[in-house]
Structure 1
């Protein structure tokens, strides 16, 4: 079984790999083998690697975190129709014929972030959302969820949408820095929470916006303890990695049908008080 996923952010994928390893330890006697392909965060490179994996005829299936589900849809459909099983995790290609998806509901993720910012601010509520430069399905869904929540509470200010290039994060964020002190809350929808926090720490606490983002790392933990990051939304990457192995194992080795097309992981709000339970 081939697993294809991005390198960025490294701290997140290390946790996913822990989950993959845990499941493999439990089923190693069955002869179920996994090869991991970590690739640059580039859809065209991902397509190239996927085609090489399929054309090699060395693998009985593919588990993939699609960089862009739309661009991979035809490849997924064509090969599933030929009998080559493909499963998605963390990111999805929902319109494709993939056999299952393991991961978060990113619309709900964005909505939850909006809920947190609204409840944690008590001023005029000028918000911003920071996403990756590329409009991947994950970024689009998080933004839609965020917008939807703000509309539901009759949010009357136009929030700012800021995009960053994660290959050039420092320079991109530096260009945006002057806008941060004018905001009441920032939602980092991409994997740059610690980088944004690093810029915000120099702003006086009286002017510093509430900062909410995703996932956990040592740096994010430290920023939670110093109250630069107010809250982060976790999605259990270890469990995602573990289940992403279990589903194709049960399907291919135990010949169990895939009963659920989607396995949505729960979203967990992490603050300074409970952050220690999420740091591995």
Structure 2
């Protein structure tokens, strides 16, 4: 009678090989004291029955658990709120793997605050996922965590020269180039200026998006003139004021590219000025607000990264590092999505 692979137990293997359960355990864990012929019988039984070790059961038997920390930004950024919700969903799955998650909210725009928060985690967690600031002190704090045995993945924004395990997020230079192509096409050959608003260029994802955008616009669309970038710290009210200043100072404005968050502030300023229909507005992250702006024609395109995919990927990478299990690189690649009002999910 055939058995279903996932129901095969060590007892089944021991029975098939004609050895004790202790012998099977020694063979599986490569401990000494088993003759070569006996070990071969056990391996043959494993292959015949299709036995696969249950890592959760093994950790349960060893009373082994893992603790992870996700460092997320403070503030009212809607995408980050969505990400936090998805981290909560991933945390529920991690519990079934005997891994547990804490969430810590930090001002990620301040390198000293972020570095101090990382330094305080030393010795407390097996793994850390952090919205990173590419700053020397933050990189040093990440390196110290790794040196003391904690795996670190950077989430959404990277610190690539640190000793982090992996970056979980989109290719932000490619995202910026995509925004540049859309801006050039949607402007329809009109001549004028284009504004860029970022949360902070200290965030590597924002700097890379700006770089990609300017590569395309400055190189391929001579009818458009990019203005000096303004920072809004991903705050809707501050971003609204920045947009109002830009509108007043540049009557030839034909487009706005919001590199980070704060889309609500830009939309409010455009509507108040009656410019929501004639200015091309491209931003990031599909939220309840940006969906509404797309439908109403205030935004022309949204470049999106899947918060759920990022949260799950960070969780899988940290767990796999701790357990020594393999990962599938294709599964962990975060795609760039482009949404117009015609394909809103």
TM-score above 0.5, yes or no = yes
The reply to whether residue 53 of structure 1 matches residue 124 of structure 2 is no
Contact 1:87 1:99 in 2 (8 A): yes
Q: Report matched runs for 1:29-40 at 5 Å.
A: 29-40=96-107
Shift of 1:37: 0.4
Evaluate the alpha carbon distance shift between residue 219 and residue 180 of structure 1 in structure 2; reply closer, same or farther with a 3 A threshold: farther
Task: Give the length in aligned residue pairs.
Answer: 273
Give the equivalent residue in structure 1 for 2:268. 198
Q: Deviations over 1:85-118 (max 9, x none)?
A: 2111111111111111110111111100001011
Contact 1:181 1:208 in 2 (8 A): no
| CA–CA distance in structure 1, aligned partners of residues 134 and 153 of structure 2 | 14
Shift of 1:261: 12
The reply to whether residue 242 of structure 1 matches residue 309 of structure 2 is no
| CA–CA distance in structure 2, aligned partners of residues 262 and 45 of structure 1 | 33
Evaluate the alpha carbon distance shift between residue 234 and residue 50 of structure 1 in structure 2; reply closer, same or farther with a 3 A threshold: same
RMSD: 2.5
**Structure 1 gap ranges (5+):** none
Give the equivalent residue in structure 1 for 2:243. 173
Shift of 1:17: 2.4
The reply to whether residue 217 of structure 1 matches residue 287 of structure 2 is yes
Contact 1:181 1:203 in 2 (8 A): no
The equivalent position to 2:213 in structure 1, one of 139, 143, 146, is 146
| CA–CA distance in structure 2, aligned partners of residues 229 and 206 of structure 1 | 8
| CA–CA distance in structure 2, aligned partners of residues 143 and 134 of structure 1 | 9
The equivalent position to 2:175 in structure 1, one of 93, 109, 113, is 109
| CA–CA distance in structure 2, aligned partners of residues 195 and 125 of structure 1 | 22
| CA–CA distance in structure 1, aligned partners of residues 127 and 246 of structure 2 | 43
The reply to whether residue 161 of structure 1 matches residue 224 of structure 2 is no
| CA–CA distance in structure 2, aligned partners of residues 160 and 272 of structure 1 | 27
Q: Under a length normalisation based on structure 1, what TM-score does the superposition of the two structures give? A: 0.87
The reply to whether residue 273 of structure 1 matches residue 324 of structure 2 is no
Evaluate the alpha carbon distance shift between residue 78 and residue 28 of structure 1 in structure 2; reply closer, same or farther with a 3 A threshold: closer
Q: Which has the larger radius of gyration?
A: 2
Contact 1:69 1:137 in 2 (8 A): no
Shift of 1:259: 7.3
| CA–CA distance in structure 2, aligned partners of residues 259 and 223 of structure 1 | 36
Give the equivalent residue in structure 1 for 2:4. none
Structure of greater relative contact order (alpha carbons < 8 Å, 6+ residues apart):
1
**Structure 2 gap ranges (5+):** 1-67
| CA–CA distance in structure 1, aligned partners of residues 313 and 277 of structure 2 | 43
Contact 2:134 2:204 in 1 (8 A): yes
| CA–CA distance in structure 2, aligned partners of residues 177 and 154 of structure 1 | 21
What secondary structure, in the 3-state scheme, does the structure 1 residue paired with 2:196 have? strand
Give the equivalent residue in structure 1 for 2:55. none
Give the equivalent residue in structure 2 for 1:135. 202
Contact 2:132 2:203 in 1 (8 A): no
